[in-house]
Copies of this chain bind each other. A is one copy, B any other.
Amino acid sequence: MRDKVNIAEKLAGVTEYFRPKIVASLNEMKVEVVKVRGEFVWHAHADTDDFFLVLDGELTVELEDGDVHLGAGELYVVPRGVRHRPRADQEAHVLLIEPKGTPNTGDAGGELTAREEEI
């Protein structure tokens, strides 16, 4: 039997912002938790939608045609190919789902690109 995942327990082990950690698999997708604070990089994922569910705090997903403001219990799916930048003025906790192998920085790359790591 697989283990269940307690999200708060997993988040307690996360010490860096914008470094998603894999907590479960769903077919070819990875389910991740991430702590965010500050501005991420503008990027897009050409081949996949990008799922954000805010667990705690507030997250803004900047899009080229406007911002999406999310509070706890709100989710948003960025359509594939759409450039976006996550931003949080205060620490927020987010559940992410995207295909395994998808880099967090999409087509932007750079130093914020996180290694895939299970916790």
User: Which of A's residues lie within 8 Å of B, judged by CB?
Assistant: 1-2, 4-8, 23-27, 29, 31, 48-49, 51, 53, 55, 63, 65-66, 68-70, 73-77, 79-80, 95, 97, 99
Whether B2 lies near A77 (C-beta < 8 A) is yes
Given contacts A6-B73, A77-B24, contact A1 B66 (CB under 8 A): yes
Q: List 23 A-B contacts (CB under 8 A).
A: A1-B63, A1-B65, A2-B76, A4-B69, A4-B75, A4-B76, A5-B76, A6-B73, A6-B74, A7-B73, A7-B74, A24-B51, A24-B75, A25-B77, A26-B29, A26-B49, A26-B51, A26-B77, A27-B48, A27-B49, A27-B80, A31-B51, A53-B95
Which 7 pairs show the lowest CB-CB distances between chains A and B?
Answer: A4-B76, A5-B75, A26-B51, A7-B73, A26-B49, A24-B77, A6-B74
**Smallest CB gap from A67: residue in B:** B1
In the assembled complex, how far is the CB of residue A5 from the closest CB belonging to chain B, in whole angstroms? 5
- Assembly of this chain: how many copies? 2
Determine the chain B residues whose CB is within 8 A of the CB of A70 once the complex forms. 4
Whether A68 lies near B1 (C-beta < 8 A) is yes
Whether A26 lies near B97 (C-beta < 8 A) is yes
